[in-house]
Amino acid sequence: MKIDDYKLLVTIKKLGTISGAAKELLISQPAISQRLKQIEDQWEEKLFIRNHKNLLVTPVGEKVINFAEEMINREKRLLDELSKVSNTVNGRLSLAVSSVVGQYLLPQILEEYIDLYPNVKVELMTGLSQSIRNSIEDFHLSIIRGEKSPNLNCIKLFSDRLYLVDKKTLENKQKEKLLIEFQSDDASLHAMCDEWFIQNPGIRLSRKIKVDQIETCKQLMSHGIGMAILPQVAIQDLDPEKYELIPLTLESEYLTRPTWLCYSENAKELPQVKAFLDIIKNKYS
């Protein structure tokens, strides 16, 4: 078996379907099915069984896929070791980034990094900060919001204020407000926002709706559907003449959300990680 075969098996297990694996790996479904059959013929055992919805891993499949995961991790460790002794910045750079940062800040940083170091293979995952914290040691660098990781070196990049944002219309001033919330895993953030509304009874809420992405929340707000609480990083392009931007405060203190850059000492030794750290530190020094 080749390393691509190991990745194929791990991906099929993770996604549970041939179609999902094909989309993830950018390989046709017939090609994946054919290669899976060849791998199963090689082991002379079924690694997956099909039900009406997805593929289930057999007991033999579990052992083979565990072996595949071990080989993939060994390859990653070897690539990291080779990067340490190389005179050039290459190898792989694995990043896990909060969706908010990935949407509004990361593209510019990655553009600069890739221009400077085109030989580095960048691996990127974006998602909720808590999901990243649960697997944070699987990545060279992570950028998360809210609480920092207690087990890694963490640098505070910035803290941005929270704003209540609403489109300015005469009609909006005469009715109760619909609040559009974006999905967040930070319970303290929601608690602070709820407390702010309690202390500001002049702003009456009719009800709340929740969406999965901050940009969806922002777009609904910009079309007059309702108001939203957004971080400063997400409202840089909004015209104050068209939108009401109210900074949230409690006891005369602005409500903010910190953003952290986290990494291990071992990762810091890699040239490609050092290069990324230099770019991001210069940007947020």
Is residue 58 within 8 Å of 49, Cβ to Cβ?
yes
Fill in the amino acid letter for 175.
K
Q: What parts of the chain have a pLDDT lower than 70?
A: 87, 170-175, 185, 285
Query: What's the burial of 45, exposed, middle or buried (CB within 10 Å: 0-12/13-18/19+)?
Result: middle
**Concatenated DSSP letters of 253-281:** EE-EEEEEEEE-HHHHTSHHHHHHHHHHH
Q: What is the pLDDT of residue 171?
A: 61
Summarize pLDDT for 69-105 with one digit per residue, the tens: 999 888 888 877 777 777 678 888 999 999 889 999 9
pTM: 0.73
**Pairing between β-strand 249-250 and β-strand 227-231 as defined by DSSP bridges:** unpaired
